[in-house]
Amino acid sequence: MAVIRSVIRGVGAHLPKRVVTNDDLSKIVDTTDEWIVERSGIRSRHIAGDDELTSDLGIAAARQALVRAGIDPVDIDLVICATATPDKTFPATAVRIQHGLGITKGAAFDVQAVCSGFIYAMTVADNFLKSGQFVRALVIGAETFSRILDWSDRSTCVLFGDGAGAVVLEAQPQHGNRDDRGILSTTIRSDGRFEDLLYVDGGPGSTKTVGHLRMNGREVFRHAVQKISGVIEETLVATGYAADEIDLYVPHQANARILDGIAKKLGVSPDKIMMTLSRHGNTSAASIPLALAAAVDEHKVKEGKLVLMEAMGGGFTWGAVLARW
Ligand code: ACO
């Protein structure tokens, strides 16, 4: 039976020019390169300049994705930006990106699910495309997390970075079986009981400030391994694939030890797990599309390959998307 699937037509990425190494950070907080590498796997991250906004990063990533897809911006009718660091409280960063690309039709809005934002945004876009309401979507993950870090807190400021990634999705008729191209499965979950483990201590409706990121690292770590392994297993059961049939795992890049823990739990070889963490740090909603773009550049994905993306973030929110390239 013919069905509509959201096929990935192109991926793009953009990182701010400024690279900050662990040694650079050791000059502002009491830390070392050794500690950061051993506990997180991060060696450096990109940090946006004062004049680089989340929308600027998103526009640059989206432009690259559109060029690689061979699609004109005016043919996009849906723009979704996953971000927890919007340029302004409103309008949505997605609308600013839409405007920056010269698109005046269709709809644009933000999705806020922190580090799971890209998974949530892909899920929303997929449902709109499958329903026939839109035909071509730009899904962007863009963050300037450096703006919400407490640069005196060594337990958090060493872990994050800035950047943006983007994907062009197009509704295409497929056969309706597991060999189809496009998004084959999406799963999103949330549970607000865990809000206090990872949050920002400010906001327009409470403190009237932007606030700073606060995290109970150990507890987040424990939940991340459990919840991400769980949602991957759910995805595999729903689609009938075994863990080793997936060609490439493109996880949210939070901590190399979390990714190793998940690989071990699922019995997946580490070389099937895309890792950009050492050079990007944790870029929240941008990390999966940035890693996807790197996977394309490194020829790790090509047509027909099965790619599983997954994430967990503040809320908690978590989820997974399985797609055939
Ligand atoms: N440099 C040196 N020492 C540090 C630093 C630092 N940057 N940060 C903390 N320490 C110290 C602590 O003060 C503590 O010292 P103490 O024993 O004297 O009290 C010691 O190191 C150990 O601290 P822990 O927090 O127990 O260290 P842990 O091994 O748990 O590693 C880390 C911390 C890296 C944050 C880890 O818990 C982690 O990665 N958690 C997951 C968090 C995460 O990935 N969050 C991202 C957002 S959510 C997501 O994206 C999934």
CATH at residue 218: 3.40.47.10
Q: Split the chain (325 residues) into runs of 10 and give each run's mean pLDDT.
A: 94 98 98 98 98 98 98 98 98 98 98 98 98 98 98 98 98 94 98 98 97 97 93 95 96 94 89 96 98 97 96 98 98
149 and 257 co-located in one domain:
no
d(CA 198, CA 221): 11
Q: In the chain, count H helices and then E strands.
A: 10, 13
Domain that holds residue 191: 182-324
CA of 171 to the centre of ligand 1 (A): 42
pLDDT at residue 265, as a whole number: 86
For ligand 1, atom 3, which residue shows the shortest CA distance?
31
pLDDT at residue 178, as a whole number: 85
pTM score of the predicted model: 0.97
- Record the tokens describing residue 311, joined without a space: 């994430």
pLDDT at residue 239, as a whole number: 94
Q: Helix crossing, 117-131 with 287-297: angle to 10°? A: 80
Q: How long is the chain? A: 325
What is the number of the ligand 1 atom nearest to the C-alpha of 25?
Answer: 7
197 and 310 co-located in one domain:
yes
pLDDT at residue 262, as a whole number: 86
49 and 148 co-located in one domain:
yes
pLDDT at residue 286, as a whole number: 98
Q: Is the CB of 35 under 6 A from ligand 1?
A: yes
d(CA 128, CA 133): 6
For ligand 1, atom 35, which residue shows the shortest CA distance?
217
Q: Is the CB of 158 under 6 A from ligand 1?
A: yes
For ligand 1, atom 9, which residue shows the shortest CA distance?
155
Residues in contact with 177: Cβ distance below 8 Å, sequence separation at least 6, in sequence order: none
55 and 93 co-located in one domain:
yes
164 and 186 co-located in one domain:
no
Catalytic residues: 115, 252, 282
What is the number of the ligand 1 atom nearest to the C-alpha of 160?
Answer: 46
Q: Is the CB of 115 under 6 A from ligand 1?
A: yes
Q: How many structural domains comprise the chain?
A: 2
